[in-house]
Chain A
């Protein structure tokens, strides 16, 4: 008996080459590799799974009613399935091959298989790129990739999830969450979603959640609507933006460091160019000490302008540093 992959390819070839729509029964009788003597219910279940597998590969299957039997009949929707040739520049192909090589063996990249399949379709999956990746993320990060993948699917299909979540103080409780989006920062993945227990949008570090369950019921029907204006970019905050209060700060980038403003701000706040070539960044903060520390770590070339408490904190703390190293 042919193996399952062979049967799937046979079904795909039939659906793509047939001019007339074919019914499940016609597929069964065509010798594609469905087990002989299989009862009708098991066959239909297998046939549904096969169609899902082909859809997952990218085949768009057109459904029509067979005029003779009144049952569903199928054919490939060629227009929706086949890609037009994509015109990539030499640099774009280099970049794609570099990306492929960087992530192909990176255990901490959650979408490796899909990435390789995508690059295969573009003919750019080459392993022989000049690029390598370090596995320095450690096995603890890599172990979390199945959760990241499951949550990414739950975000896409809008399925609710539950998990145990440990807070920073070590307490743990089960949460029910409508997952809205994911972001990655410094090698760590975060989930943003509606914690339905408290009816608030919260951010969760994925490496701190356990026993993840995605609602298995009605997998093709979304469980919730994502709020219309939701944008993951607004959930990802800067390290000093966590806390109950929000105060604006102004940071000046010297002319020689002005180019760094765009990347350090990560899209938060407002950047104004000043006549002398420096940039003024107005940004909200919640934690004064973390902001002071961040400014020192990212220097030189950045200066606190406002509020006065920020400047006072920096002065006091720097004097402490000087005293301790006298």
Chain B
């Protein structure tokens, strides 16, 4: 049963199913479930409910007429009403706008214009644009997002130009796009990097250019979706923060562990893969963070501060 949904939410899903039921069709329950976004069991329960619905005088010819056998449903007659998809309601349009904007689709993206055309007149796209904002960047990364999603679905290799965050270097590589992962509003591509010969996580907003190659790859049975490095096996930098400093949280320094000392200073342990990555975060604390060790991170901080100072002067 559709537990957890109240009657009106359930009725909305029932109404969404009706236009998908065409006389003479034999449809897999799993396909219907995919279309309306629930499980095959929920669809089976919904269809059973629908067979009891109809229009007056509720003779057998006035009811939704279908037959479920196993994993399929056979439709004997078109539904007695509501046989076309409904326009999107204002809250539905808001949900889509919020989600698409998070994926880089700016309000003026062609896809959003197409969706506005199937939205109820009561919802104004302009009002949504002025009252809800979820995007991280104007102009958006929609093209990158759409291309990565399509390539991941088609198991197609991509050639990308990627800017490494800590060094600013741009490198070209061929990757197998496994999954797109969102964390705290930032999108990542989890992919097999052919040059590195192993899995890598790329921030989508640092993918400078991309090109579909036409070559296919095999997706492993288990795709990892962790975008924060597993601290196990990584080196750890120990960092001292001066009293009164605004301490970094897990958003800015993923995996950090912090202990505040009685004098108000704080000690932090930060797992890292590349020294340049820690060094950039440390110098951004403007001298209020000092690396205690290891030596390679201290050196990296000093060198980065020296190079940056030369550029500043």
Partner of A86, one of B115, B208, B219: B115
CA–CA, A125 to B12, complex, Å?
14
A174 to chain B, nearest CB (A): 24
The answer, yes or no, to whether B108 is at the interface (CB within 8 Å) is: no
Partner of A121, one of B92, B285, B290: B92
CA–CA, A181 to B132, complex, Å?
6
Partner of B8, one of A10, A53, A226, A230: A53
A118→B86 contact, CB < 8 A = no
User: A residues within 8 A CB of B185?
Assistant: 184-187
- With A9-B11, A133-B182 already in contact, the answer to whether A115 and B95 are too (CB < 8 A) is yes
CA–CA, A314 to B311, complex, Å?
10
The answer, yes or no, to whether A81 is at the interface (CB within 8 Å) is: yes
Partner of A318, one of B105, B283, B291: B283
The answer, yes or no, to whether A270 is at the interface (CB within 8 Å) is: no
B179→A111 contact, CB < 8 A = no
CA–CA, A16 to B85, complex, Å?
13
B133→A236 contact, CB < 8 A = yes
B146→A91 contact, CB < 8 A = yes
B54 to chain A, nearest CB (A): 6
B130→A115 contact, CB < 8 A = no
- With A13-B54, A94-B150, A299-B308 already in contact, the answer to whether A134 and B183 are too (CB < 8 A) is yes
The answer, yes or no, to whether A215 is at the interface (CB within 8 Å) is: no
B130→A231 contact, CB < 8 A = yes
- With A82-B84, A259-B208 already in contact, the answer to whether A315 and B11 are too (CB < 8 A) is no
B95 to chain A, nearest CB (A): 3
Interface string of A96-136 (1 = CB under 8 A from B): 11111011101001111111111111111111111111101
Interface string of B126-146 (1 = CB under 8 A from A): 000011111011110110011
Closest Cβ neighbor of A189 among chain B residues: B134
B205→A184 contact, CB < 8 A = no
B305 to chain A, nearest CB (A): 4
A58→B92 contact, CB < 8 A = yes
B111→A92 contact, CB < 8 A = yes
CA–CA, A126 to B133, complex, Å?
25
- With A117-B13, A126-B35, A267-B138 already in contact, the answer to whether A58 and B184 are too (CB < 8 A) is no
Closest Cβ neighbor of A14 among chain B residues: B55
A296→B280 contact, CB < 8 A = yes
- With A80-B120, A136-B184 already in contact, the answer to whether A114 and B49 are too (CB < 8 A) is no
The answer, yes or no, to whether B274 is at the interface (CB within 8 Å) is: no
- With A5-B10, A134-B182 already in contact, the answer to whether A98 and B50 are too (CB < 8 A) is no
User: A residues within 8 A CB of B256?
Assistant: none
CA–CA, A98 to B189, complex, Å?
12
The answer, yes or no, to whether A177 is at the interface (CB within 8 Å) is: no
A110 to chain B, nearest CB (A): 8
User: A residues within 8 A CB of B134?
Assistant: 183-184
Closest Cβ neighbor of B114 among chain A residues: A86
The answer, yes or no, to whether A88 is at the interface (CB within 8 Å) is: yes
**Majority SS at the chain A contact face:** helix
CA–CA, A5 to B15, complex, Å?
10
The answer, yes or no, to whether B309 is at the interface (CB within 8 Å) is: yes
Partner of B132, one of A54, A183, A300: A183
The answer, yes or no, to whether B87 is at the interface (CB within 8 Å) is: yes
CA–CA, A123 to B34, complex, Å?
8
A86→B11 contact, CB < 8 A = no
A8→B82 contact, CB < 8 A = no
CA–CA, A180 to B153, complex, Å?
39
Closest Cβ neighbor of B57 among chain A residues: A31
The answer, yes or no, to whether A137 is at the interface (CB within 8 Å) is: yes
A117→B131 contact, CB < 8 A = no
CA–CA, A30 to B56, complex, Å?
6
A175 to chain B, nearest CB (A): 19
B181→A132 contact, CB < 8 A = yes
B86→A155 contact, CB < 8 A = no
Partner of A303, one of B115, B153, B311: B311
Closest Cβ neighbor of B141 among chain A residues: A263
Closest Cβ neighbor of B311 among chain A residues: A303
Partner of A17, one of B20, B80, B91, B282: B80
A130→B132 contact, CB < 8 A = no
Which of A91, A109, A128 has the most C-beta atoms of chain B within 10 angstroms of its own C-beta?
A91
Partner of A232, one of B87, B133, B138: B133
CA–CA, A31 to B53, complex, Å?
11
Given contacts A12-B15, A187-B183, A187-B251, 16 further A-B contacts (CB under 8 A): A3-B49, A10-B55, A59-B15, A94-B149, A97-B153, A99-B99, A104-B37, A121-B85, A132-B180, A153-B91, A156-B131, A184-B102, A186-B185, A263-B137, A325-B291, A326-B302
15 A-B pairs in the complex with CB atoms less than 8 angstroms apart? A5-B8, A8-B14, A53-B8, A56-B12, A58-B92, A82-B87, A95-B142, A95-B149, A111-B98, A137-B184, A152-B91, A187-B251, A299-B280, A303-B312, A314-B308
Name the 5 nearest CB pairs between A and B, nearest first: A125-B37, A320-B287, A187-B184, A111-B95, A4-B7
